[in-house]
Amino acid sequence: MVKKRTEHIIHADEVEIGPLQLQLMLGSSYKKAIELCVNSIFCNCGSKDKRLVNYKSYINDVNDVILKGWCSSCNTIAARYIETGEREGIEAIADRIRHTNQK
Ligand SMILES: [Zn+2]
């Protein structure tokens, strides 16, 4: 079996965002969206009640969000991709966040 990496790779187009910026990216239903995402991660361990914990949030160049953290069950890295790039008006929000965070 391939051994899992122990560190997340942060790609060149990814910019870390804060919790409030994550809310902006996900819109008014952010609570539901985050809850859904942290509870539905893929992990090799196959545990049924795993969650994504201690994650950091990133946006990429197509304005999607990636949560990078750890599997609560086996303590290895895990991530969850959230497609937000198609949402109306998201480009302006993402551009503003990128501008702010890249200074
Ligand atoms: Zn796991």
Question: Does residue 43 contact residue 50 with C-beta atoms inside 8 Å?
Answer: yes
Q: At what angle do helices 90-101 and 19-26 cross, to 10 degrees?
A: 160
pLDDT tens per residue across all 103 residues of the chain: 567 788 999 999 999 999 999 999 999 999 999 999 999 998 989 899 999 999 999 999 999 999 999 999 999 999 999 999 888 999 999 999 999 998 6
The CA 28 to ligand 1 mean position distance, Å, reads 30
The CA 79 to ligand 1 mean position distance, Å, reads 11
> Residue 73 and residue 9: Cα distance in Å, rounded?
21
The CA 75 to ligand 1 mean position distance, Å, reads 6
Cα→Cα distances 2→5, 44, 47, 73, 76, Å: 9, 11, 18, 19, 13
Which amino acid makes up residue 28?
S
The CA 99 to ligand 1 mean position distance, Å, reads 35
